[in-house]
């Protein structure tokens, strides 16, 4: 019985948004409400040399952006909450896509001034594909921005949401006075001098309460009544089943930097968000309350603590209880591993745990055996789906700048590629290494980390590649495949797993190759 209670207590979710919408700030404030931290680091402030709790890599602190997903856990109102704070920058989107395989629900953060941005649309598309329930938090209400109804329209038109506002702002920007919480029927007033304190809520039975005028003034109370009438008339009532089946998206308003509206979001979230859900494997559906342990690696991070050269694999527990020092089967290698010091996370702070339950994220030490997407079980052959490599957008040759450090460079490239930071292709014709990334900023991150974590220096050289395509000789036509390899030898490479990849130099060349060799299929992702 305790096992099932532990599962019901858990909430594992990701926070996603466009860069600068305030995602990391919101993560911090959720931790603050959960009592996990005493004081929030000023995320952007360079005067206070503090950076956000969840941004623990040195390069993140310097740039003020998240480049790697961090995992944070805390307890709140008898619920165990696991947050995965993801990078918003499009150059690091692949890390976010992989992280979305490990969450049961998502909070999308929208900037009140910018509204729905391109990166948000892409991330929401992935959530929709994976049928992940979504709550929306419209942030930065203390700044000038778009009208609340315009933002709700934008969510409906651009993201195809069926929105259901559960709180509503009283003014925006200079006129911002607070929010009316439709979920709990109370009023929360914003006081500029209370910026870093948690504001008190005022319980009012209805908007006809005569105290409303005293609190926000006659004009604002008339306008609020009109707006709430429109909300109740135009938008559907909240329905938890619709939310869980992705047919409805609750919307909250607030200002994460000022601790405003965050508690309302958190209180509602823990009561409506799903506990750990069943996950599909290639063999069958795995339910969280099954007795036998299963889980998968969705992220690998080398050198979380550069002093110790450690490399951690993040395992999402899907079913059963994960126990310290118990041997588990690594499905791909068909080999048993046991973990003497599995970690639970609080950004870069780790503590050793004896057991974990479905929904939890556990960090285990990896000496180079594991890859992203690897599955663990108590013996059954289970392969969890949906963690492919995508065809990169940018490609460069990588060169060694210091011949004395060849070993360190090779090790660094090897480990960073296992992390999924980028992809490595080794040219068949001359053995040269090509790095492929989703965004150009990744090259800087690789260069920085190779130097500061591995003591190796590299430089890049441009290469003209349009697309990397994984090849499959699906008609088993050996003569045609041999001819293809002979004619296209200078465009062929192997990926890290030894799969043959065609590095096409233009869209035209790719199209012509497809026509010339009809028995070969070209895939834009490694899982086909």
CA distances from 506 to 118, 464, 473, 518 (A): 26, 8, 21, 18
- Average pLDDT of span 180-207: 67
Residue 167 has pLDDT above 80, yes or no: yes
Share of the chain above pLDDT 90, in %: 26
CA distances from 157 to 69, 164, 174 (A): 29, 14, 28
pLDDT 10s digits, 110-165 = 988 888 887 788 788 878 877 899 999 999 888 888 888 999 999 999 989 999 99
For residues 463 and 43, which has the higher predicted lDDT (pLDDT)? 463
> What band does 296 get if pLDDT is binned at 50, 70 and 90?
very high
pLDDT of residue 93: 54
Residue 197 has pLDDT above 60, yes or no: no
Residue 207 has pLDDT above 90, yes or no: no
pLDDT 10s digits, 338-351 = 888 888 876 446 67
pLDDT 10s digits, 443-497 = 988 898 898 888 999 999 999 999 899 998 877 888 899 999 999 999 999 988 8
pLDDT of residue 496: 83
- What is residue 191's three-state secondary structure? coil
* Pair of tokens at residue 313: 């694999």
pLDDT of residue 58: 54
* Pair of tokens at residue 202: 């005022």
pLDDT of residue 69: 46
Residue 229 has pLDDT above 90, yes or no: no
pLDDT of residue 18: 77
CA 171 to chain centre: 32
pLDDT of residue 42: 35
| Residue whose tokens read 């997407």 | 373
pLDDT of residue 173: 77
pLDDT of residue 287: 92
> By mean pLDDT, which of 51-65, 180-194, 214-228 is the weakest?
51-65
For helices 118-129 and 148-159, the axis angle rounded to 10 degrees is 50
Residue 231 has pLDDT above 80, yes or no: yes
C-beta separation of 203 from 185 below 8 A: yes
pLDDT 10s digits, 78-87 = 888 888 866 6
pLDDT of residue 50: 40
pTM of the model as a whole: 0.76
- The number of beta carbons lying within 10 Å of the beta carbon of residue 512 is 12
- Average pLDDT of span 393-420: 88
> What band does 235 get if pLDDT is binned at 50, 70 and 90?
very high
- Average pLDDT of span 322-337: 90
Residue 304 has pLDDT above 70, yes or no: no
* Pair of tokens at residue 492: 């062929």
> By mean pLDDT, which of 104-108, 336-340, 437-441 is the weakest?
437-441
Residue 513 has pLDDT above 90, yes or no: yes
Burial class for 282, CB neighbours closer than 10 Å (0-12, 13-18, 19+): exposed
What average pLDDT does the structure give for the chain?
A: 81
- Average pLDDT of span 189-215: 64
> What band does 97 get if pLDDT is binned at 50, 70 and 90?
confident
Of the ranges 83-87, 95-99, 154-158, 200-204, the best mean pLDDT one: 154-158
Domains of the chain: 15-71+104-272 (3.40.50.300), 279-377 (3.40.50.300), 394-523 (3.30.70.3280)
pLDDT of residue 91: 45
pLDDT of residue 64: 46
């Amino acid at each position: 019985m305790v096992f099932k209670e532990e599962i019901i207590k858990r909430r594992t979710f990701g926070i996603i948004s466009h860069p600068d919408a305030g995602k990391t700030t919101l993560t911090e404030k959720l931790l603050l409400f959960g009592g996990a931290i005493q004081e929030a680091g000023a995320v952007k402030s360079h005067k206070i040399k503090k950076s956000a709790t969840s941004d623990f890599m040195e390069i993140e602190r310097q740039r003020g952006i998240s480049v790697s997903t961090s995992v944070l856990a805390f307890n709140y109102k008898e619920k165990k909450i696991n947050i995965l704070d993801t990078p918003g920058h499009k150059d690091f989107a692949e890390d976010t896509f992989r992280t979305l395989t490990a969450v049961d629900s998502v909070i999308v953060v929208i900037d009140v001034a910018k509204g729905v941005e391109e990166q948000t649309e892409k991330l929401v598309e992935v959530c929709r594909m994976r049928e992940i329930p979504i709550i929306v938090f419209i942030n930065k209400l203390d700044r000038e921005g778009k009208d609340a109804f315009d933002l709700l329209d934008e969510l409906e038109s651009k993201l195809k949401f069926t929105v259901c506002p559960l709180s509503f702002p009283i003014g925006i920007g200079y006129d911002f006075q607070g929010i009316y919480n439709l979920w709990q029927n109370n009023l929360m007033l914003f006081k500029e001098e209370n910026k870093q304190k948690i504001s008190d809520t005022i319980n009012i039975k209805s908007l006809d309460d005569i105290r409303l005028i005293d609190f926000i003034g006659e004009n604002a109370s008339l306008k609020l009544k009109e707006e709430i009438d429109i909300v109740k008339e135009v938008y559907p009532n909240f329905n938890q089943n619709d939310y869980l089946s992705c047919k409805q998206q609750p919307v909250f308003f607030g200002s994460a930097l000022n601790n405003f509206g965050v508690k309302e979001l958190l209180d509602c979230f823990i009561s409506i968000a799903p506990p750990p859900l069943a996950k599909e494997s290639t063999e069958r559906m795995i339910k969280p309350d099954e007795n036998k342990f299963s889980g998968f690696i969705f992220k690998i991070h080398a050198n979380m603590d550069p002093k110790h050269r450690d490399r951690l694999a993040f395992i999402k527990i899907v079913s059963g209880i994960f126990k310290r020092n118990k041997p588990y089967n690594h499905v791909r290698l068909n080999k048993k591993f046991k973990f003497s010091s599995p970690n639970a996370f609080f950004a870069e702070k780790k503590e050793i745990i004896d057991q974990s339950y479905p929904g939890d994220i556990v960090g285990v030490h990896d000496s180079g055996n594991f890859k992203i997407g690897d599955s663990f079980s108590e013996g059954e052959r289970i392969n969890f789906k949906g963690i492919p490599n995508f065809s990169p957008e940018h490609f460069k040759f990588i060169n060694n700048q210091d011949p004395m450090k060849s070993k360190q460079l090779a090790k660094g490239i090897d480990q960073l590629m296992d992390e999924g930071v980028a992809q490595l292709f080794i040219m068949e014709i001359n053995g040269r290494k090509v790095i492929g990334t989703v965004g150009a900023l990744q090259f800087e991150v690789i260069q920085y980390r190779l130097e500061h974590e591995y003591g190796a220096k590299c430089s890049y050289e441009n290469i003209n590649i349009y697309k990397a395509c994984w090849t499959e000789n699906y008609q088993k036509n050996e003569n045609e495949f041999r001819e293809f390899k002979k004619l296209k030898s200078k465009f062929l490479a192997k990926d890290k797993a030894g799969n043959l990849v065609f590095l096409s130099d233009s869209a035209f060349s790719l199209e012509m190759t497809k026509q010339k060799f009809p028995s070969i299929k070209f895939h834009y992702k490694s899982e086909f």
